[in-house]
Amino acid sequence: MGSISIPRMEDYAKKVNARLIVVKKRFPPFEFIAMSKFFMERHLQNYPEGIFYLDTDTLINRNAPDIFELAPKEGVSGVWDSKNEQPNPDWNKYIKAAAALVEIEPWQGYFNGGVLLIRQDARKIFSNPEYFKLMPWYPDQTIMNLNRARYDIKYNNLGSQWNLMGQNGGNEKTWSKCHVAHFAGIEPQSRLQLMHYINQQMP
């Protein structure tokens, strides 16, 4: 997937005058590859404007605006993991179970961890990575959501155009027109085929 998505990330990084860092390995003791995003904590202090994180199974439109200029200057900016731009009540069972494990109160709202802009004041979003052993469901983004609640980190919803998935309107017609197409939750072979196809259609 990276052979399709990374060239677009390189082009976008040049456009917005950013440095691209590609995570190519797991970071012990995390067996789950998505937990490697927690390594960003060690780099955040070096980038005053923050870090814009993209999963490997995303395609960023070369015409997308400068996220560093567009998004609020505080907190974490992302997209709700839902169908209608609102917090998804279907995630409550995961939130409540995870919150019980770490003894904090559950809350409304669960953002997707595949596309995130993390500003300097949101450093604590990377806290408690050791909880991944306690969480059978999407441990990386669940821990980040828990940290947002625990440390009262401001959350800014960017809208689905910045993380368009199958569940919030993504399809063969819409993915090529959004800012970031995200192919999460699709069977690997079909996902690769879709990425190849959308890569040819998207600017």
- Out of 3.40.50.620, 3.90.550.10, 3.40.50.720, 3.90.440.10, the CATH code matching 2-201 is 3.90.550.10
| pLDDT tens, position by position, 36-79 | 788 888 889 999 999 999 999 999 999 999 999 999 999 999 99
Residue 105 predicted with pLDDT over 70: no
**Domain-wise residue ranges, the chain:** 2-201
* DSSP string over 94-112: HHHHHHHHTT----S--B-
- At residue 131 the predicted structure's pLDDT band, cuts being 50, 70 and 90, is confident
Residue 106 predicted with pLDDT over 60: no
Which residues 6+ apart lie within 8 Å of 121 measured at CB? Answer: 74, 75, 153, 154
Helix (H) or strand (E) holding 182: strand 180-182
- At residue 103 the predicted structure's pLDDT band, cuts being 50, 70 and 90, is low
Task: Note the pTM of the prediction, 2 decimals.
Answer: 0.89
The residue-averaged pLDDT of 166-186 equals 94
Higher-confidence position of 145 and 158 = 158
Asked whether the beta carbons of 149 and 107 are under 8 A apart, the reply is yes
